[in-house]
Amino acid sequence: MSRPESAGARFRQALKDNQPLQVVGTINAYTAIMAERIGHQAIYLSGAGVANASYGLPDLGMTSLENVLEDVRRITAASSLPLLVDIDTGWGGAFNIARTVKEMIRAGAAAVHIEDQVAQKRCGHRPNKEIVSKEEMVDRIKAAVDARTDDDFFIMARTDSFAQEGLEAAIDRAQACIEAGADGIFAEAVTELEHYRAFKDALNVPILANITEFGKTKLYNKQELGESGADMVLYPLSAFRAMNKAAENVYSSILANGDQQAVVDTMQTRAELYDYLNYHEFEDKLDALFKK
Ligand SMILES: C[C@](O)(C(=O)O)[C@H](CC(=O)O)C(=O)O
Ligand SMILES: [Mg+2]
């Protein structure tokens, strides 16, 4: 697999090639391989996903930079798709944020989003979020942009301010972040298509729509989102939620029935599993190398 360009450059190219660019959450290396094979152009590592899946924790700012990096490294080693990473609030002050950005680039990430919630953050679609001042958020962006070791690395500012302060204030914050060097804006938990249009009309950078299930935003189609000015559409946890439900059914069925007959049809087969992993190529190599 040749990678002539940096991950950031590949993300920017994917953004140019796809209007809007769908960015699908991949909770681990294997699902990243699946997303790539299926034809997606960009993938996402969710902060909630790392907390929930890798650590069994809620999405309340309890995971560390190193926790997230570990999953970034696993995914970027397995897939050549550009990876957008949720870095929550950046894990500290200016120097911590700088370190976060440098380490993300080193780990092969293409892009990050950093948000304006307080460190004790919540999911963007939950009530009672608290945000830092516009000035503090601008400082976060400045620190992130200044730390970049690859000019193509894509730094997105996420604002959670719509819920408390409304559309105008959210756009005003986004504008300040762009002036500080942000490459894109993540308009968190807005509710109407017109809101994306308003962000797009006021700002001259790509806009991300977070279409997460069971949240505040309806499950708009990518076409209507594109027509409303969204440049990226994020599905952060869609496959993860489906995987969890499938696992729940399997565990329940095994317990209730004493075998897995009732759920075998819901499973990926061994052949399908191996196909994504190029298993047989590895096995052939082994045979060729060590044939008796
Ligand atoms: C995008 C998000 O930040 C994430 O961590 O995946 C979450 C998603 C979710 O909880 O549905 C968020 O929107 O805050
Ligand atoms: Mg998150």
Q: Are 182 and 156 in contact (CB under 8 A)?
A: yes
Domains and CATH numbers, the chain: 7-237 (3.20.20.60), 244-290 (no CATH)
Q: Position 161: which residue type?
A: S
Average pLDDT over residues 156-184: 97
Q: Residues annotated in the binding site for substrate, as ranges?
A: 46-48, 123-124, 158, 188, 210-212, 241, 270
**Host H or E run for residue 37:** helix 29-38
Task: Indicate whether residue 210 lines ligand 1 (CB < 6 A).
Answer: yes
Q: State which ligand 1 atom lies nearest to the alpha carbon of 158.
A: 3
Closest ligand to the CA of 237:
1
User: How many whole angstroms separate alpha carbon 234 and alpha carbon 155?
Assistant: 15
User: How many whole angstroms separate alpha carbon 212 and alpha carbon 59?
Assistant: 14
Q: Residue 119 CB: number of other CB atoms within 10 A?
A: 13
Q: Is the pLDDT of residue 1 over 90?
A: no
State yes or no: is 177 an active-site residue.
no
CA distances 127 to 7, 83, 88, 122, 172, Å, are 35, 28, 17, 8, 22
Q: What is the DSSP letter of 150?
A: S
**Structure confidence by residue, pLDDT tens digits, 82-116:** 999 999 999 999 999 999 999 999 999 999 999 99
Mutating to test ligand 1, I would choose from 86, 88, 235 the residue with most ligand atoms within 8 A of its C-beta, which is: 86
Give me the catalytic one of 71, 103, 115, 231: 115
Q: Report pTM.
A: 0.97
State yes or no: is 88 an active-site residue.
yes
pLDDT band at 291 (very low <50, low <70, confident <90, very high): confident
**Host H or E run for residue 276:** helix 270-277
Task: Indicate whether residue 90 lines ligand 1 (CB < 6 A).
Answer: no
Residue of the CA atom closest to atom 10 of ligand 1: 123
Q: What percent of the chain has pLDDT over 90?
A: 98
Burial degree of 156 (CB within 10 A; 0-12, 13-18, 19+): buried
In this prediction the ipTM stands at 0.99
State yes or no: is 158 an active-site residue.
yes
- Using the mean position of ligand 2's atoms as its centre, give its distance from the Cα of residue 78 in Å: 22
What integer pLDDT is reported at residue 2 of this predicted model?
47
Q: Position 216: which residue type?
A: K
Q: Position 22: which residue type?
A: Q
Q: State which ligand 1 atom lies nearest to the alpha carbon of 189.
A: 13
